[in-house]
Chains A and B, each alone.
Chain A
Amino acid sequence: MCQDPTRRALILTALATGACLASARPSIAEEDLPGSSERPQKGDVLVFAEGDRAGEVIKPQDLQAGGPPVRAWPKDPKTSVVRKGSRLNEILVVKLEPAELDEETRSRAAGGVVAYSAICVHTGCPITAWVKAAGGDKDVFKCVCHNSEYDPRQSAQVVFGPAPRRLPALPLATDDGSLTVAAAFIGKVGAQQAR
């Protein structure tokens, strides 16, 4: 594990053993790699942001229908740079029943797979929960910072809480069986204004 070059693995390892940080060779920080802080671009692939398969490319069959969402980073397939230099690039990917999606959402989906910014537009917390909506029985994205809820079937519109607008959607396509970015985020990522 100590050879794993990703920053997260390094931190985890350091916590687990307390030994690896000291021996890690200085390297270019993730956020300094060219393109790592740029927003997702057309043609980027999506990779798992965490878990055993962190860094691996996500394919639709990796996702469980009906959720929960998977956290992902965009990755430039040409340079292999994972765009995790900015937390504003974190993405939620969820596979849903295509029939459940409204037209606009379906137009951005790859099969039933849809993707959104993982950063809550209220005050910029990460969205972490997939729970039954406060006002219904469908699972929705929930930001536990101040309880905003977004329905990914309806362009992630706000169904509860203080968030002022929907989550930016990331249009998807499939290429060679992998999920790819079809267009840039629709809407401004992060809090409503520079809060």
Chain B
Amino acid sequence: MALKQWLLSGLLASTCLVSVAAAGPIENYSPVTTERLKNPEPGNWMHYRRTYDGQGYSTLDQINTSNVKNLVPVWTFSTGVVEGHQAPPIINNGVMFVSTPEGQVIALNAKTGDEYWRYKRQLPEDLFQLHPTNRGVGLWEDKLYLATTDDHLVALDAKTGKVVWDTKVQDYKKGQYLTLMPLVVDGKVIVGGSGGEFGIRGYIVAYDANTGKELWRTFTIPGPGEPGHDTWSGDDWKTGGAPAWMTGTYDVDTRTVYWGTGNAAPWPGETHPGDNLYSTSVLALDPDSGKMKSYFQYHQNDSWDWDEVDAPMLIDLQRDGRTIKSLVHPGRNAIFWVLERKPEGIKYVAGWPFVYTNVWKSIDPNGKPIADPAHKPGIGKRVEFCPSLWGGKDWPSAAYSQKTGLVYVPANENFCGGFTGEKVPLVAGKLWLGTKPEDIGLTPRPGATHFGELQAWDPATGKKVWSHNFPKSQLFGSVTATAGDLIFVGGTNDRMFRAFHAKTGELLWEQKTNSGIVGMPIAYEVDGTQYIAVQSGWGVDAQRIQDALVGKVPGLENNVPQGGVVWVFAVKK
């Protein structure tokens, strides 16, 4: 079909969605099957963290500690939009799918950078975008799935970018929105809602991948008569938050999906008395029915905005002379958690602070952290606490190397913060934080020598093996590990993309990019050549932290330009 004709028919087919073809369609697309999703080929990156277990580990080793110094850009591609570009490029046998803010997906030739097609969602004019971002597309058969900030889940034809179906998940006018990469399990597309700042009731929902029909919806706050409902007071459960806005991980053997949940709303715990299940928790769900199998709550009655939405990694650990099928989660609440996936449910194994905190006095034998009331925000009083509300590690993901057995954490050290809690009435669609947004503070600890810290932890022993400190920047980007004994991460305000030695922490390579990197690095291979790819595009919370630091850290770089570019690197031959 001629391009013009195709465009016209696209416009006729839908009044609010536009697909633009460039060099497409894609020939010989490799359909994505359950088997391929369970065992992705080493050269592909088809899940948020490459594999269902969430490890963020590539088995490719062509790029390694000896040749990484020769890594050079081989192509770049401007996305045409600003704000935080947080998505990993998704790779399926030579085809790259990149999602960006504003609900855009670009299909590219992963070897050459040539564009196949581009989808641009036409977002509503009156949309209130607190987190204008997107974290990637899920794949199934010959379709891909995009979750949008106006709270729709859209299926596109992977070969053409044409809309296959478009389902409204909830109402964006009520502060419901989606930012995550959908998780696809056996033909079901599973997403969770953002919007904890708007007084929503969080949920995780599954759709039929072929039709877009809703299959189940599990609320993260139990309703009347459901177990855990009594951990809420009065009607707080209706508006108590607990959003689920990051992609879950999946245990293929036990067919269990693990999903992280956000904080209770609004922020000060006094406004929602009780433990507030299942906020700030990990949930274990049956992917067929959405039924909750088990849970673990990382902390009760959250008052710090410490959501725990980054899903735990599934790692087999040797600990105390046995193999532990663990859940590992470096928490926003500053605690590095090691939990166990037991047949009877999730059990606490160990927890320790990985950055300075003055909030937790201890952790009880069941894994319940005990808060110091002096550092718990309340109504009408300003309370300072460490780490800041962005936590010891926010949503950017840690990685696990199967070769070194270490977990690599993009941590923020020496940032404290505070706010004054207040009772605020809820107005649908308006921010509902329980404090004035302009009152939120971020304060370097006195005498702090650095802020961002890339850390390597041994999850089996609880020992920190190495760390690399950033004296003038936060570290706000996901980490990727490879079998080349390399750790890739951006996340700093100097626009650098870096590679570290996985065993020693030695900085082996760095490259300045167009903007700051909050995107997730990936590794892939086409025609026998290994590539590393990442989106550079600063914005959202990395920018918020940056702005909060202005005037507080001498010599701080606050001129981080915005604008997204996909960068692809290979070793110069």
Q: Which A positions have Cβ atoms within 8 angstroms of B?
A: 8, 11-12, 15-16, 18, 86-88, 119, 123-126, 128-129, 131, 134, 142, 144-147, 161-162, 164, 189-191, 194-195
**Main SS at interface, chain A:** loop
From A8, A16, A195, B129 is in contact (CB under 8 Å) with: A195
From A129, A142, A146, A164, B543 is in contact (CB under 8 Å) with: A146
Chain B residue with Cβ nearest A50: B427
Given contacts A191-B125, A195-B129, contact A15 B426 (CB under 8 A): yes
From A131, A134, A195, B550 is in contact (CB under 8 Å) with: A134
Across the interface, do B83 and A123 meet the contact criterion of CB distance under 8 Å?
A: yes
**Chain B, 112-127, contact with A by CB distance < 8 Å: what is the 0/1 string?**
0000000000111111
* B122 surroundings in chain A (CB, below 8 A): 194
From B132, B427, B547, A161 is in contact (CB under 8 Å) with: B547
Across the interface, do A162 and B125 meet the contact criterion of CB distance under 8 Å?
A: no
Across the interface, do B126 and A87 meet the contact criterion of CB distance under 8 Å?
A: yes
From A15, A123, A144, B132 is in contact (CB under 8 Å) with: A123
* A8 surroundings in chain B (CB, below 8 A): 427
Q: Is B292 an interface residue (CB 8 A)?
A: no
21 contacts between A and B (CB under 8 A): A8-B427, A11-B426, A11-B427, A18-B235, A123-B127, A124-B125, A124-B127, A128-B438, A129-B436, A131-B438, A142-B438, A144-B437, A146-B539, A147-B543, A162-B82, A162-B539, A164-B82, A191-B129, A194-B123, A194-B125, A195-B132
Question: 6 tightest A-B contacts by CB?
Answer: A144-B437, A123-B129, A129-B438, A123-B132, A147-B547, A190-B125
Across the interface, do A195 and B127 meet the contact criterion of CB distance under 8 Å?
A: yes
**Chain B, 79-122, contact with A by CB distance < 8 Å: what is the 0/1 string?**
00011000000000000000001100000000000000000001
* A87 surroundings in chain B (CB, below 8 A): 126, 128, 429
From B132, B425, B429, A12 is in contact (CB under 8 Å) with: B425
Given contacts A146-B539, A161-B547, A162-B539, contact A194 B128 (CB under 8 A): no
Chain B residue with Cβ nearest A161: B547
In the assembled complex, the CB of A98 is this many whole angstroms from the nearest CB of chain B, namely 27
* B425 surroundings in chain A (CB, below 8 A): 11-12, 15-16
Given contacts A12-B425, A88-B126, A125-B130, contact A195 B438 (CB under 8 A): no
Q: Which of A18, A88, A125 has the most CB of B within 10 A?
A: A125
Q: How many residues of chain B have a CB within 8 Å of chain A? A: 33
Q: Is B428 an interface residue (CB 8 A)?
A: yes
* B101 surroundings in chain A (CB, below 8 A): 195
Chain A residue with Cβ nearest B430: A126
* A128 surroundings in chain B (CB, below 8 A): 431, 437-438
> Knowing that A86-B126, A125-B130, A161-B547 are A-B contacts, what are 19 other residue pairs whose CB atoms are under 8 Å apart, sorted by A's residue number?
A8-B427, A11-B425, A12-B425, A12-B427, A15-B426, A123-B127, A124-B125, A124-B127, A126-B431, A144-B438, A146-B540, A147-B544, A147-B547, A162-B562, A190-B125, A194-B122, A194-B124, A195-B101, A195-B127
**CA gap between A50 and B491 in the complex, in Å:** 40
Given contacts A11-B428, A15-B425, A161-B547, contact A145 B130 (CB under 8 A): yes
Chain B residue with Cβ nearest A31: B173
Q: Is B554 an interface residue (CB 8 A)?
A: no
* B83 surroundings in chain A (CB, below 8 A): 123, 146, 162
**CA gap between A164 and B81 in the complex, in Å:** 12
In the assembled complex, the CB of B178 is this many whole angstroms from the nearest CB of chain A, namely 15
- Considering only residues 187-240 of chain B, those with a C-beta below 8 Å from chain A are 234-235
In the assembled complex, the CB of B544 is this many whole angstroms from the nearest CB of chain A, namely 7
In the assembled complex, the CB of A179 is this many whole angstroms from the nearest CB of chain B, namely 24
**CA gap between A164 and B427 in the complex, in Å:** 28
In the assembled complex, the CB of A149 is this many whole angstroms from the nearest CB of chain B, namely 10
Across the interface, do B426 and A195 meet the contact criterion of CB distance under 8 Å?
A: no
In the assembled complex, the CB of A148 is this many whole angstroms from the nearest CB of chain B, namely 10
In the assembled complex, the CB of A141 is this many whole angstroms from the nearest CB of chain B, namely 11
**CA gap between A189 and B124 in the complex, in Å:** 12
* A191 surroundings in chain B (CB, below 8 A): 125, 127, 129
* B123 surroundings in chain A (CB, below 8 A): 194-195
Given contacts A18-B235, A123-B132, contact A146 B127 (CB under 8 A): no
- Considering only residues 423-449 of chain B, those with a C-beta below 8 Å from chain A are 425-431, 436-438
Chain B residue with Cβ nearest A146: B543
Across the interface, do A129 and B132 meet the contact criterion of CB distance under 8 Å?
A: no
* B130 surroundings in chain A (CB, below 8 A): 125, 145
* A164 surroundings in chain B (CB, below 8 A): 82
* A195 surroundings in chain B (CB, below 8 A): 101-102, 123, 127, 129, 132
**CA gap between A144 and B437 in the complex, in Å:** 6
Chain A residue with Cβ nearest B428: A11
**CA gap between A26 and B132 in the complex, in Å:** 36
In the assembled complex, the CB of B85 is this many whole angstroms from the nearest CB of chain A, namely 13
Across the interface, do B539 and A88 meet the contact criterion of CB distance under 8 Å?
A: no
* A189 surroundings in chain B (CB, below 8 A): 125
Across the interface, do B430 and A124 meet the contact criterion of CB distance under 8 Å?
A: no
* A119 surroundings in chain B (CB, below 8 A): 126
**CA gap between A145 and B101 in the complex, in Å:** 15
**CA gap between A146 and B102 in the complex, in Å:** 15
**CA gap between A190 and B429 in the complex, in Å:** 16
In the assembled complex, the CB of A38 is this many whole angstroms from the nearest CB of chain B, namely 13
* A123 surroundings in chain B (CB, below 8 A): 83, 127, 129, 132
**CA gap between A164 and B426 in the complex, in Å:** 30
* B234 surroundings in chain A (CB, below 8 A): 18
**CA gap between A16 and B123 in the complex, in Å:** 34
Given contacts A128-B437, A161-B547, A162-B562, contact A190 B126 (CB under 8 A): yes
Chain A residue with Cβ nearest B551: A134
* A144 surroundings in chain B (CB, below 8 A): 437-438
In the assembled complex, the CB of B20 is this many whole angstroms from the nearest CB of chain A, namely 15
* B235 surroundings in chain A (CB, below 8 A): 18
In the assembled complex, the CB of A40 is this many whole angstroms from the nearest CB of chain B, namely 15
**CA gap between A18 and B239 in the complex, in Å:** 13
Q: Which of B83, B126, B426, B550 has the most CB of A within 10 A?
A: B126
Across the interface, do B125 and A88 meet the contact criterion of CB distance under 8 Å?
A: yes
In the assembled complex, the CB of B199 is this many whole angstroms from the nearest CB of chain A, namely 9
**Chain B, 552-573, contact with A by CB distance < 8 Å: what is the 0/1 string?**
0000000000100000000000
In the assembled complex, the CB of B17 is this many whole angstroms from the nearest CB of chain A, namely 12
Chain B residue with Cβ nearest A164: B82
From A126, A134, A190, B547 is in contact (CB under 8 Å) with: A134
* B127 surroundings in chain A (CB, below 8 A): 123-124, 191, 195
In the assembled complex, the CB of B548 is this many whole angstroms from the nearest CB of chain A, namely 8
* B544 surroundings in chain A (CB, below 8 A): 146-147
